[in-house]
Chains A and B, each alone.
Chain A
Amino acid sequence: MSELKLMKGNEALAEAAIRAGVDGYFGYPITPQTEIIEYLMTERPELRTGMVVLQAESEIAAINMVYGAASTGKKAMTSSSSPGISLKLEGISYLAGAELPAVIVNVVRGGPGLGTIQPSQADYFQSVKGGGHGDYKLYVLAPASVQEMADFVEDAFDIAFKYRAPVLILSDGLIGQMMEKVVLKPQKLRMTNEELIEKNGDWAVTGKKGRERNIITSLDLQSEKMEARVRRLMKKYEQMEKEDLRFEKINCDDAEYLIIAYGSSARISQKAVELGRAKGIKVGLLRPITLFPYPKKALFDLADQVKGILSVELNAGQMVEDVRLSVEFKVPVEHFGRTGGIIHTPEEILEALEQKIIKNGSIRHHKTRESSIL
């Protein structure tokens, strides 16, 4: 039965993992995501579903435990926050290379370095531009509510198994630590080996009795084979762009100005849109739900309608680059964001829109057109 609860984002994600029938969680504590492992340890899911919850000796150990568990075809996941994710990146690249399904959760804090424990979105580049080495991408989901922290666990595993690829849930300290109402889905049983093979195919290392052996590796010393593997990965990413892009448009129909923001920034920007509309400014919000694939086409089309776009992020300007690439300089695009763990207020965002886009918009637009004539 589904249940209504008041939970922190981190707790909701942990409970959803148990209910989704996840087989194993391997983690290491770090603020602001420690509630995930804390909740799993307290709930003792081994008694509910047989799910393994293990505190590893380090982040690196945890991601390699995920690699091992995922190799057997099981649903395996880990979570951490920014510095911990940096440590996991080698393992994440291996997961992508070995074409293994797995879910990684990053509850982002301010950086670089140990940075701060307060909310941030400064891991955008790390999440969507590789992070680890090699030609790979992660399917990246950016929850903006406690409900999505819960719902995205199952969504992430569906995508991970559909493509045999690692999926990242990119949250942050704000969404992880806040409490909201959440409707939890009914408990699902963990799948048996037979069910996993039936649903996902017979690729995992489960003991080779009666069949050819399956090999899980990211190593291919023959260049032609390695290139074929990279091409296969690229095909998957193309398919993700076609079939599994997710975004949300709010108040965009008559919008003259556009704010683009994801996760916690999208929530705060939505309030800025409300304040702007109350002042008579026709502003809309585009919220990418997946950061890869990115809503390039939606942005490109909206650029024909709006006079300018403000990219609102809790960082020094990262996603704004993808916004500019998407709109191909049709309209002015500016960035606004706070860093160091400071959260921008709705009033600040509206002011930035007025100063950077509405006030300067026409002048900059004119300049762009002039230079294009030259």
Chain B
Amino acid sequence: MTEEIIIAGFGGQGVLSMGKILAYSAIMQNQEVSWMPSYGPEMRGGTANVTVILSDERISSPYLKIVDTAIILNQQSMDKFEESVKPGGILIYDPNGITAHPTRTDIKIYQIEGTKLASEMGNKKIFNMIILGGYLKVKPVVKLENVIEGLKKSISERYHNLIPLNVEAITMGMNNIVPYKVQEAIFQN
């Protein structure tokens, strides 16, 4: 099994750390992983993205044009990465701030109200864990117990008291991801 993912959004949304937690979770189940960030001036306030690959085999290129799954968290990233999903692949996005919704009909598209749910839960910082939960519902590439182990590894010990909150956020995400149909949206407009 190989899963290739691009996670893209604003710097500060927890894009890179979400990728890191996912990578750690895969290590916990003895998989090969690569985590390749976009780094550079665009990270401050601009877009940030990370390519994560989880595989049972040795990973060749850590840098990809076409992926299995794209997790898209702002409009700029939608413009850039909607076309990166391979036919039959998955696109997950948070509709908050999205003005031009995805239009492809050869992929599966899901919506998750991550921003809204995070503010309802009273903690913006768990936004990325809600999104991660949604993704894991659609694509259970790592087991929840391994995500918890991954969290323990990737966040420093003094914050380990926050792990239950993170698990709650993941569960919230799992329960709130919904399929999005391109056709319906056209009728609505």
Q: Using known A-B contacts A117-B40, A267-B61, A346-B64, determine if residue A179 contacts B27 with beta carbons closer than 8 Å.
A: no
Give the docked Cα–Cα distance between A179 and B61 (Å): 13
Q: With a CB–CB cut-off of 8 A, which chain A residues contact B34?
A: 178-180
For window 101-135 of B, CB contacts with A under 8 Å fall at none
Segment at the interface with B among A150-158, A268-276, A300-308: A268-276
Bound form: Cα–Cα A268–B64 in Å: 8
User: Which chain B positions have C-beta within 8 A of A341?
Assistant: 40
Contact check, A270 vs B61: say whether CB atoms are below 8 A apart.
Answer: yes
**Which of A4, A270, A346 lies in contact with B65, CB distance below 8 A?**
A346
A262-300 vs B: 1/0 string, CB under 8 Å?
001001111111100000000000000000000000000
Number of A-B contacts (CB under 8 A): 73
Residues of A within 8 A of B61 (CB): 267-272, 346
Q: A6-B153, A267-B61, A271-B61 known; A32 and B39 CB under 8 Å?
A: yes
Residues of B near A269 (CB, < 8 A) are: 61
Contact B39 A173 (CB under 8 A): yes
In the docked arrangement, what's the CA distance between A163 and B161, Å? 53
Whether the Cβ atoms of A117 and B65 lie closer than 8 Å is no
The reply to whether the CB of B147 lies closer than 8 angstroms to some CB of chain A is no
| Interface SS of chain B | mixed
| B63 near A345: Cβ-Cβ < 8 Å | yes
Q: A177 to B33, Cβ gap below 8 A?
A: no
- Asked if A174 is an interface residue, CB under 8 A from chain B, the answer is yes
Bitwise, B41-64 to A at CB < 8 A (1) or not (0) is 100000000000000000111111
CB of A181 closer than 8 Å to a CB of B: yes
CA distance A237 to B32 in the complex (A): 37
Q: In the assembled complex, how far is the CB of residue A248 from the closest CB belonging to chain B, in whole angstroms?
A: 12
Give the residue of A178, A264, A346 whose beta carbon is less than 8 angstroms from that of B37.
A178
27 A-B residue pairs with CB within 8 Å = A6-B20, A6-B33, A6-B153, A31-B39, A116-B40, A117-B39, A174-B36, A174-B62, A177-B36, A177-B37, A177-B39, A178-B36, A178-B37, A179-B23, A179-B34, A179-B36, A180-B35, A267-B60, A267-B61, A269-B61, A270-B60, A271-B61, A272-B61, A345-B63, A346-B65, A347-B65, A347-B66
* Docked complex Cα distance between A273 and B61 (Å): 10
Residues of B with C-beta under 8 A to A348 = 65
Which residues of B line the A interface, CB within 8 A?
20, 23-24, 27, 32-37, 39-41, 59-66, 153-154
A267-B60, A273-B60, A346-B65 are known contacts; what are 18 more A-B pairs with Cβ within 8 Å? A4-B27, A6-B20, A31-B39, A32-B39, A118-B40, A174-B62, A178-B34, A178-B35, A178-B62, A179-B33, A180-B32, A180-B33, A180-B59, A181-B32, A268-B61, A269-B61, A271-B61, A341-B40
A343 interface residue, CB < 8 Å from B? yes
**CA gap between A268 and B37 in the complex, in Å:** 15
Q: Indicate if the CB atoms of B64 and A345 lie closer than 8 Å.
A: yes
B35, closest chain A residue (CB): A179
Q: In the assembled complex, which residues on chain B have CB atoms less than 8 Å from the CB atom of A346?
A: 60-61, 64-65
Bound CA span A204–B64, Å: 49
1/0 per residue, CB under 8 A from B, across A324-349: the answer is 00000000000000000101011110
| A-B pairs, 10 with minimum CB distance | A271-B61, A270-B60, A345-B65, A179-B35, A271-B60, A268-B61, A178-B36, A346-B61, A343-B63, A178-B62
* Closest residue on chain A to residue B63 by CB atoms: A343
B27 with A6: CB separation less than 8 A: yes
Give the residue name and chain of the A residue nearest to B66 (CB): A347
Which B residues are CB-close (under 8 A) to A118? 39-40
Looking at the assembled complex, report how far the CB atom of B92 sits from the nearest CB atom of chain A, in whole angstroms: 22
Is the beta-carbon distance between A6 and B23 smaller than 8 angstroms? yes
Which of B20, B40, B60, B153 interacts with A179 by CB under 8 Å?
B20
Cα-based distance from A346 to B61 in the complex (angstroms):
8
Most buried by B among A173, A268, A274: A268
Taken together as a complex, chains A and B put the C-alpha atoms of A32 and B36 apart, in Å, by 13
Most buried by A among B27, B61, B64, B65: B61
